[in-house]
Structure formats: C-alpha cells, structure tokens
Structure 1
Amino acid sequence: MSDLVQSAKKAAAYAAVDDHIKSGYIVGIGSGSTVVFAVDRLAERVRNENLKVKCIPTSFQARQLIIDNKLTLTDLDVDPVLDVCIDGADEVDSNMTLIKGGGGCLLQEKIVASNAKKLIIIADYTKDSQKLGDQYKKGIPIEVVPIAYVPISNKIKERFGGSLELRMAVKKAGPVVTDNGNFVLDWTNFNQDSDWEKVNSELLHIPGLVETGLFIKMASKAYFGLKDGSVKQKGTCSAQA
C-alpha cells in the first residue's frame, strides 16, 4: 500500500476523532487498517487531554487495539447505547450506502453501529465512489451459516444475478470463519443500479443468511483522506453533534 494512501487514511482518522469524540463518550471502535490510526489518535487524546472514554470493539482485532493502547474496554451488555462509532468502509456511494466486511467483521460492525447515535466513516480517497462496485471489486460480503452457503448462493444468483464465491482463508486450509463461526460469501458482478435498500431487505429474508455487508442509511458522515493531505467530508451531521 502506497505512502500516499497511508497518509490519507491517517488524515481522515485523525480528523474524525478530533471532530466527534468528547470526554465521557462511549465509542464504538471499528475494524480495519484505517481504524488503527483512529485508535492511535484517540489514545493520544486520552493521554494529553485526560479524556475519559469507554470503547466497544467490533471484532477481535478491534478489541486487541483497545487493549494494546490501554484504553478502557466495555461491551454492549454494560453500555448498550454508544455516543459514536468510528469505522472504516470498503466503499461509499453517492447516497452514503456502504460496502463493509472486507475483513469479515460485518455482523459485529453492524450490531455496534446500529446502537450508536452516529456512525462516522473514515477512509482514503479510493473508497469514495458514485456507485457501489465502481472502485471496490471484491464484492459485497454476505455472512452465512455454514450449512446453507450453497443454497444461499443459488438463491441470490437466481433472484439478483451476479457471481458468489465462498471466501477462502489465506494461511489456513478451507474457508474464512468469522468471529461468529460463520462463512462469508463475496457477491460480485451485481447490478450497480440496484435499489440497495430493497435488495438488502430481501436478502435478509433468506434462511441461513445472517447479515450483509450493505450498510444503508446508517452512516452520518464520511471522512476521506485525499492525496494532497486534505480531508473531504460527505454527510450531514456536524462535528460534536
């Protein structure tokens, strides 16, 4: 990954943490490479400003980040309402519909985000698209119960077209297994002009389909780090709102 992209991720993450986290907040910590920078900045603010925050992770990776940075860890049992969730995205379209789940954490990410007063997305310029699939070619992740992955693949192809592949692990034999013990299907070659809200609703009615990587009407704001070091914002919520 280029230094330019890394710098862009950092710029977006730092801007979002500075704009949207205050002392006393319950904060959802998302997953992925851009979130690492957000946690770095949050830990820095905790040290320098004596900020009091509690953090809820969306994955094993996020939990380790919180622990490694000596931030206060909590969970939805203790703190079921979050002030803000900061997370990355694989792609953001012009309607602020997201593809998430490239790292396989979509179910927990969506649960945590759904309990936050606002979801703030941080990403680099390569994730900013007009339509889903413009730049992100790995597909829409769909988390499924293992015994159902073949019939679910067939049903999605019959109803919506496209191609579905079982995501295979890189350093282990066999498929990727999520933190929840499920498999992930990646849906590519889909119709980019789909009504994603309708598609998502229909997908969730398929027995054995646990969750989709389509995040619709969930994000309040997105921060995109640009090549020149500046940050582009999309969305409606104001800083510290």
Structure 2
Amino acid sequence: MEDPAQRRVDYGDRSFDEADLAACPLEQFQRWYSAAVDSGEPEPNAMTLATAGPDGPSARTVLLKGVDARGFVLYTNQRSRKARAIAHEPRVALLLVWHGTHRQVAVRGRAEVLPRAETEAYFASRPYGSRIGAWASEQSEPIASAAGLHEREAQLRRRFPDTGSPGDVPAPPHWGGYLVRAVEVEFWQGRTSRLHDRLVLLSRDGSPAALDDGAAWRLERRQP
C-alpha cells in the first residue's frame, strides 16, 4: 500500500477572489457546477450528507437532484438512518467535491421534507429499475444475504411490470425528498502550497435565506 502521508497534489495557481464571486450563492453554485460537468467530473452531483442522529454523527454520499432559490434537493428512503437522523436533528451539512477543478462547496442548513407532489413528480422521472429498487430496499436495515434482496426485487418486478409508463411503479409512501435550506455556503478553491481560497456566504440573520437573494448574505474570507 502507498503511504498516504507521502501523497502530494499541487492544486495550481487558479485563484478565487472576492471580485470573482457571483451576485448570489445560487448563481455562483451554478457556475461551478457547470464547470465541473465540463471538466469531465464523473458524477458532479455526488455530495456528502452529514447528520447527527440519536446514535451520534454519520455521513454518506447521496446525489444532488435539484438546486433553486429555496435550497438543495435530495431524495431517499424516509425510514433510513439518514432520515431518522434528520427527524432527530434537521440541521445538516452538505459537501460537494470536484477533483477536476480542485473545488469544493460546503453547505450548512436545515433539512425539511419536500411536498409529496414534488416527490411523486421526480419519482416518475426515474428509470424503471430505480423505481423498483426504492421499493425493494429497506434502506439501512440488516439483511441475511444479497440473494434475499434480489428475490424481493424479482417479486416486485412481477407486482409492478414494466409497461413503459411512469405510473407503472408508484412512489413508495416511505420514500421522499428533502430540501436543505442553507444558512452558510462556502466556495473553496484549491491553490498551491495549501494556501487555498475560501469565500463563505453567511445568512445575515442566521436563518435559512433564499439562494438567489444576494442582499440576504454577507461575505467572509476564511484562512485555509
């Protein structure tokens, strides 16, 4: 095994200055997300979701499925460990890392359940196999073997045959979306010698603020 302590990557001399910052967090995020896509990042919408549940903190990779003036959207089984943690403590953190551009976006905010109509509209857009998988997996629960999970999947495929219609597999009642309304959004640009640029936008009143309202945020530069 390679010694991780000896791994070195020079992030280059690309800077991120206050003058480069967009008028609002939403526009800045969209700029960087588009740059990550253009750079060939294999899964630019992958993000870490960190929560604090009754049993302590935990983190996992989920997929960003939307971002607008309200905040950041993800979907999951609402009986899962992450969902139980959100119910216990709705304050969460998100982290998107784009290695190709040496950038990160870190978000702190409050998670809330999305309206059911929004969940059902998104669920209908998913591929057939993903819709079946949402029914098959009792997420975060123990299972005796992978075979048991695949057998349940086969049973559900018989129950909900693929007709080519978005309505052939309804959204499970225990599956849904969360909206993370931000109170802090940090834009991190890697630089040489570990002297990274960190520009942080903070809600002026400490409560979740609209991402398209530049006046609702104040800027703070932090040391790397």
TM class by shorter chain equals under 0.3
User: What TM-score do the two structures reach when normalised by structure 1?
Assistant: 0.26
Q: Structure 2 length normalisation: TM-score?
A: 0.27
- Structure with bigger gyration radius: 2
Q: Indicate the structure with greater strand content.
A: 2
